[in-house]
Amino acid sequence: MAEGDVKFKVMIDGIPVEVAPGTTIMNAARQIGGDIVPPAMCYYSSLEDSGGKCRTCLVKVSKGSEKDPRPMPKLVASCRTTVMDGMEVENITSPEVLEARKGVVEFLLINHPLDCPVCDQAGECDLQDLSYQHGVGETRYEFTKRTFDRIDIGDKIQLHMNRCIMCFRCVFVADQLTEQRVHGIMNRGDRAEISTYIQKAVDNDFSGNMIDVCPVGALTDKTFRFKNRVWFTKPVDAHRDCPTCSGRVRLWYKGEEVMRVTGRKDEFGEVKEFICNTCRFDKKATSDWVIEGPTKVKRTSVISLNHYEDPNPPAVVKTNLALQEANKEQFDRVDKLLP
């Protein structure tokens, strides 16, 4: 058998899957899909060396492999652990994993402010979803949260470090998409923060991708801030002939106005084709784009509230029309009784 044809058989939450050697547990679970895919706040498949920072993807390896069936002694980060032939993994079926994930979420929220009512990331925030699924109702943290002043790290991007969970995605994007990175992690421990070098502006042509990869509202689009809620907009896939990037984007409409332009995210919330700042910030007219059609939105997403399809099946529509007609007759009778 050729080396490329070798497959490892892995069992995740009782579901078998065959993957290539070197595949991580995270990506093996993604091949299965559904609820058994561990959450990821720092891992980004298209960014090298990402993962292993947030610990939200912890899983339990109950069987190491066929050759060595002993379980791993501790929970492991699925985004950093490669599979072995015969490995058995527990994710949502393990109470130990769910309890650990609850603790990780509590830790991530220690310094995070309750900004959801005013945060532009609300409605598409990974941390918001994670805290709803695995969080606790109250915090045990009694100390003052660390706070930072909001700063502009460019004419189109605002950094709000209060919301940052130090996933480092934006740093990896700057490292791997641009020739000269001017921002990164300053200081250490509980004083670590994302910042630019002596307040230098981030002005490279792909800087806007930091907004797309940020899982929280720490990096926001200044051209879209406080203009609308994401669930009031309609995402539409479009493309243009761009000399700098792929030109494949997602337009977010409110009525006939394009409120913002973002990269297209897949089912795991990752952008596969990064876009340039010209497409993102300067092309906000429908005439600039070739419209492909409405974006498919998950039913579990709050964005689906602003659906494209008729939410009322024919039977419901018929019932509603009958009720309207009955109400009209009742109102007509009342009108006749009035002087």
Integer Cα distance of 158 and 282 in angstroms: 17
* pLDDT for 319 beyond 50: no
Percent of the chain topping pLDDT 90: 59
- Per-residue pLDDT tens over the stretch 62-98: 999 999 999 999 999 999 999 999 999 999 999 999 9
Residue 92: per-residue pLDDT: 94
* pLDDT for 308 beyond 60: no
In this structure, CATH architecture of domain 3-108: Roll (3.10)
Give me Rg for the CA atoms of the chain: 24
User: What's the one-letter identity of residue 243?
Assistant: P
Place 298 in a pLDDT band, splitting at 50, 70 and 90: confident
The region that residue 197 occupies, defined by phi over 0 for left and psi between -120 and 50 for alpha, beta otherwise, is beta
User: Which of 160-169, 188-197, 213-222 has the weakest average pLDDT?
Assistant: 188-197
> Which among 301, 266, 303, 296 has a CA at the least distance from the CA of 30?
266
Q: List the end-to-end C-alpha distance of the chain, in Å, as a whole number.
A: 93
What is the β-pairing status of strands 151-152 and 290-294? unpaired
What residues does each domain of the chain span? 3-108, 116-225, 227-308, 312-339
User: Which of 168-172, 296-300, 328-332 has the weakest average pLDDT?
Assistant: 328-332
Residue 307: per-residue pLDDT: 57
User: Which of 43-47, 55-59, 307-311 has the weakest average pLDDT?
Assistant: 307-311
CB neighbourhood size of 281 (10 A):
19
User: What's the one-letter identity of residue 46?
Assistant: S
CATH topology of domain 116-225: Alpha-Beta Plaits (3.30.70)
Place 200 in a pLDDT band, splitting at 50, 70 and 90: low
Contact (Cβ atoms closer than 8 angstroms) between residue 169 and residue 50: yes
- Per-residue pLDDT tens over the stretch 158-177: 999 999 999 999 999 988 88
Percent of the chain topping pLDDT 70: 87
Higher pLDDT, residue 332 or 221? 221
Residue 259, C-beta contacts closer than 8 angstroms, at least 6 positions apart: 224, 227, 228, 233, 252, 253
Task: State whether residue 261 is helix, strand or coil.
Answer: strand
Mean pLDDT of 12-23: 95
- For the whole prediction, is pTM greater than 0.85? no
Cα within 13 Å of Cα(299), Cβ side? 2
